[in-house]
Amino acid sequence: MNRLAERWPALLLAVVTAACLLRIYALIDVVSQQGFSATDAASQRLVAYSAGALGCFIGALLFVAGLLPARPVHTAGAPLFGRDAEMEPRGRPGLRRAFLVLPALVVLVLLGDRFGPWQPRGQDVASAPPVEPAPRPEPVSPPAPPQAAKPIEPTPVAPALPAAPPPQAVPAPAPAPPPQVALAPPTPPEVLPSPPAAAPPVTVAPLPPAPPALPTEPDGHRDAVVWLAVAPDGREIMSASTDHTIKLWDISGKHLIRTLGVHRDMARTALFMPDGVTALTAGDDGEIVQRKLSDGSVLHVFSSGANGGVNKLAISPDGRRAVSGHDTGNVIVWDLEKGSVLHVLTGHDWSISSIAVSPDGSKALSASIDGTLKLWDIESGRQLRSWHGHDQGAYGAVFTADGHHLVTGSGDLTIKVWDLDSGREVKRFEGHEGTVYALALSADGKRLLSGSLDGSARLWDMESGNQTALFDSRTGPIYAVAFAADGTVLTGGYDRTIRDWPAAGGDGVVLFAGAPQ
């Protein structure tokens, strides 16, 4: 029984401690959102419950340790005779009573806090929704400059009227002076708000007149014209387009002779063979196709295989060799007579952007989109020279008639003339505002024609380096240029048309229109 008397107060104190902890847990969330304040009710309750829980917990430990006995006890093994038998230890009755009263007080506080009249009905502090913290103020922007409108003035107050003089007595021996009447102080003149400022007059510039619509014809190209070649007799033009087709045109009759062929991907190059009866065409599908001009029938297909699409193609003057540049950076020399591969030339790190063959057919020039130029011996496949010719891609390349000089255009907006014996730049033409994409030399070698992504073609004097004519399409980039037999200039480009321009400059005419879009 004595042991039970020591255990039930400890159990009671432990239960009350747990109840206090539950209330403390509920109040912590509220206080953390509101902030702790000595005058705040929630903060005061949190402190009170914390003190109560601590006191009950200490009392429970004391009762469990047997330090607050219910009646006097003897120390284990102590004799029960003599002075010790007369003076029995009494324990700590005052402290025991205090720890027995403490849980009762805490329970009363718990009940009063939950059901007391000061508690709002139906709402518990611990279960109340958390108070949202006040939003942080947004940074204040600098004040805007004052507008033209004036600030609104306060509403004016009408001035007080002076008091009327009293009526004079009738009759009167003499008119009495009117009594002095104190007038209200004068009020400032009424200031009315100024009317809103009238909107300033607005002048709207009209759009420039739209350029006249380009003519169309059903047989025209449906996409950009990227290559032009003039037949040796000057009577026909062959064009290649990103619409995959190769077309053959009659210049004098100004009509389409036939669609010579279709590639499985973009067509890039179309060249007349020296025999005058066949053509060689190439495209992104990696095929070089030999076709009959009379009906477009295919005579032979040269496939580049894993070397990739054919970006550019050139033929030796005797028609025995063809050199192709590919998007893998490889250059292939083809034996057209045997229908075989003579060499696969490697060394470029980037896609090939231009190919040219020397007038004697012994050398080939390849250029890549990183501006690197390489000179090759066609028969042996040996690299003769390599140099970095341009800061950007080299597009368009043509040998001069002597075979010792080369002209290249570039994305760095320049046209350069190179001495192939030394590899030095000997002349530079400047004036284009976009990538120089295509070049052609006149038959006499005295004039250079350039086409650019800036939408213009320009004619240059090879001797002086001066620009002699400008041809502005105003309809987008020019991708292909050629000289007609009569010396006029031919261009093809983004607008799907083939145009003829006077050699002296001026406006061109649409020779062959594109198909309707």
How many whole angstroms separate alpha carbon 61 and alpha carbon 487?
A: 116
Question: Which residue, 93, 110, 22, 12, is CA-closest to 56?
Answer: 12
Return the amino acid letter for 507: D
CB 168 within 8 A of CB 175: yes
**Which pair of tokens denotes residue 89?**
């230890």
Query: How many other CB atoms are there within 10 angstroms of residue 180's CB atom?
Result: 6
CA distances from 229 to 58, 232, 240, 320, 491 (A): 106, 9, 9, 19, 10
Number of alpha helices (DSSP H) and beta strands (DSSP E) in the chain: 4, 28
Tokens 């190919």, located at residue:
355
On the CB side of 123, CA atoms within 13 Å amount to 7
The DSSP result for 204-246, as a single string, is PPPPPPPPPPPPB-TTS-SS-EEEEEE-TTSSEEEEEETTSEE
Query: How many other CB atoms are there within 10 angstroms of residue 95's CB atom?
Result: 13
Residue 177, pLDDT > 70, answer no
CA distances from 309 to 157, 327, 353 (A): 90, 6, 12
User: What's the confidence (pLDDT) of residue 17?
Assistant: 86
Peptide bond preceding 145: is omega within 30 degrees of 0, i.e. cis? no
pLDDT in tens, 34-64: 666 666 677 777 788 788 888 888 888 877 7
pLDDT band, very low/low/confident/very high, at 210 (cuts 50, 70, 90): low
How many whole angstroms separate alpha carbon 260 and alpha carbon 296?
A: 5
Residue 421, pLDDT > 80, answer yes
Sorted by where each starts, the structural domains of the chain and their CATH numbers stand as 2-76+90-115 (no CATH), 225-512 (2.130.10.10)
How many whole angstroms separate alpha carbon 225 and alpha carbon 241?
A: 4
Q: Hey, which residues does 247 pair with through a beta bridge? A: 239, 259
pLDDT in tens, 291-349: 999 999 999 999 999 999 999 999 999 999 999 999 999 999 999 999 999 999 999 99
pLDDT in tens, 145-164: 334 333 333 333 333 333 33
Burial readout 471-483 (b: 16 or more C-beta within 10 A, e: otherwise): bbbeeebbbbbbb
pLDDT in tens, 184-202: 455 555 555 666 778 888 8
pLDDT in tens, 73-105: 444 444 433 444 444 445 577 777 777 777 788
Length of the chain in terms of residues written = 517
pLDDT band, very low/low/confident/very high, at 33 (cuts 50, 70, 90): low
User: What's the confidence (pLDDT) of residue 111?
Assistant: 76
User: What's the confidence (pLDDT) of residue 105?
Assistant: 81
Q: Dihedral of CA 469/365/324/442: which sign? A: positive
CA distances from 465 to 95, 400, 402, 426, 461 (A): 116, 14, 18, 11, 5
User: What's the confidence (pLDDT) of residue 54?
Assistant: 85
3-class secondary-structure state, position 173: coil
How many whole angstroms separate alpha carbon 97 and alpha carbon 471?
A: 114
pLDDT band, very low/low/confident/very high, at 167 (cuts 50, 70, 90): very low
Query: How many other CB atoms are there within 10 angstroms of residue 371's CB atom?
Result: 20
User: What's the confidence (pLDDT) of residue 43?
Assistant: 75
